Chains A and B, each alone.
Chain A
Amino acid sequence: MARFASLVDSLGGTPLVGLPRLSPTPDVRLWAKLEDHNPTGSIKDRAAIAMIEAAEKEGKLNPGDTILEPTSGNTGISLAMIARQRGYRLICVMPENTSVERRQLLEMYGAQIISSPAAGGSNQAVAVAKGLAAEHDDWVMLYQYGNPANAEAHYTGTAPEILADLPSITHFVAGLGTTGTLMGCSRYFREHKPGVQVIAAEPRYGELVYGLRNIDEGFIPELYDPELLDSRFSVGPDDAVHRTRQLVEKEGIFAGISTGAILHAALGIADKEVAAGRKADIVFVVCDGGWKYLSTGAYAGTLEEATTSLEGQLWA
């Protein structure tokens, strides 16, 4: 069935595609979960719809209300689309070092943007949003970093879809940001297919983003439970850009830069499985398409030029 009552109703059910050219051997296979096939083109549609519907159900959100959210882009874009459909006002607190495409999309969907300083990255966006929420108690902060509906969307959507399409899955690799995708999927796999290894790929940004005044300003999302991960890798912009380009060249998949970071971790796992002589079906998440990141410079020029131009930007 590919007919839906509205755009929002078409959420999920995204394709899982094989990567015949990037998979190292016929026994160690890579599979891409194409989350760019969601309504606004990213995996964040799942969390955004789930968080809004949970708030509506609990009576916290009524037509005309104002939603507030710290977001570097995709969550905001998803929320903005749904908010406009359902008659909510949306304010996004967004670090100033995010791509122009994300800002333009948010504005087009009618969201209001409050910029937070580039130094400190999303930490500052979270801090500013928490401050605003305290000042405006009639605003509803959905708070993707701590809202159980975020992880729940992946527990009831993403992971069951993957297991149904690929019962032989051995590894699941996704990006670590709010941690919602990894926490929700991991809980589902541990209940329904224990033994699936769950691996996090975390983008490593330039120094500006880690510019805290002291260590105690550090941040760990409330949703995060390290017990639900088997390993966690930090991936720099050079590897992320290299893999993003490889994905287009070898498999025709035009993805955002965070997906390159995830693919890098997935290929590392694939190499280990080949070396160990095991069979493996490794699923990784394509978070979004590359369209929103063209202006970052990641897709043009040499790898060195691309990596340099990403310095100081929140590229995932």
Chain B
Amino acid sequence: MAIEVRIPTILRTHTGGAKTVEGSGATLGALIDDLDGQHSGLKGRLVTEEGKLHRFVNVYVNDEDVRFTGALDTAVKDGDSVTILPAVAGGC
């Protein structure tokens, strides 16, 4: 089993159009490194040069926003579901 990662439309140029990809790693940061090995350029779209999540990128592990669980240090394991979304306006 691996970790399933949902990719938003805007980043699918890096995944050959795939909506979901799979990877592995003990932390979100390691998972993103693993994904970048398979889908070149993906990491650069998610993580800044300073090693932080891009301001307009939201990442959720099992629906919880990782900025409140340790950001790139958030622990992940096989069977987890990771969702990446651009930050957009909500509200009514």
Residues of chain A touching chain B, judged by Cβ–Cβ distance below 8 Å, are 42, 44, 70-76, 120-123, 125-126, 144-145, 175-180, 200, 202-204, 207, 209-221, 226, 229-236, 258, 316
With contacts A215-B54, A215-B86, A218-B87 taken as known, whether A44 is within 8 angstroms of B92 at the C-beta atoms is yes
With contacts A212-B10, A231-B65, A232-B64 taken as known, whether A145 is within 8 angstroms of B86 at the C-beta atoms is no
A213 to B58, CA, bound (A): 16
With contacts A210-B8, A210-B9 taken as known, whether A144 is within 8 angstroms of B68 at the C-beta atoms is no
- A232 interface neighbour in B9, B55, B65, B89, Cβ under 8 Å: B65
Residues of chain B touching chain A, judged by Cβ–Cβ distance below 8 Å, are 8-10, 45, 54-58, 60, 63-65, 67-69, 83, 85-92
Residue of A nearest to B87 (CB): A218
When distances are taken between beta carbons in the complex, the residues of chain B under 8 Å from A176 are 90
Q: Are the CB atoms of B67 and A232 closer together than 8 Å? A: yes
With contacts A218-B56, A220-B56, A230-B68 taken as known, whether A211 is within 8 angstroms of B92 at the C-beta atoms is no
- B10 interface neighbour in A145, A180, A215, A230, Cβ under 8 Å: A215
Given contacts A122-B90, A210-B88, A218-B57, 13 further A-B contacts (CB under 8 A): A42-B92, A75-B92, A76-B92, A122-B89, A210-B9, A212-B10, A219-B89, A226-B67, A230-B68, A231-B65, A232-B67, A232-B68, A234-B58
When distances are taken between beta carbons in the complex, the residues of chain B under 8 Å from A175 are 90-91
Selected A-B contacts with CB under 8 Å, 14 pairs: A44-B92, A72-B92, A120-B88, A125-B89, A145-B89, A176-B90, A210-B85, A212-B88, A216-B56, A218-B57, A220-B55, A226-B67, A226-B68, A233-B65
A213 to B69, CA, bound (A): 29
Q: How far is the CB of A158 from chain B (nearest CB, A)?
A: 15
Q: Are the CB atoms of B65 and A234 closer together than 8 Å? A: yes
Residue of A nearest to B66 (CB): A232
A123 to B88, CA, bound (A): 6
A254 to B67, CA, bound (A): 33
Q: Are the CB atoms of A316 and B65 closer together than 8 Å? A: no
Q: Are the CB atoms of B91 and A221 closer together than 8 Å? A: yes
A209 to B9, CA, bound (A): 10
Q: How far is the CB of A184 from chain B (nearest CB, A)?
A: 14
A76 to B54, CA, bound (A): 32
When distances are taken between beta carbons in the complex, the residues of chain A under 8 Å from B68 are 226, 229-232
Q: How far is the CB of B43 from chain A (nearest CB, A)?
A: 13
Q: How far is the CB of A220 from chain B (nearest CB, A)?
A: 5
Residue of B nearest to A226 (CB): B67
With contacts A218-B55, A233-B63 taken as known, whether A316 is within 8 angstroms of B90 at the C-beta atoms is yes
Q: How far is the CB of B25 from chain A (nearest CB, A)?
A: 21
Q: Are the CB atoms of A219 and B67 closer together than 8 Å? A: no
A123 to B10, CA, bound (A): 15
Q: How far is the CB of A314 from chain B (nearest CB, A)?
A: 8
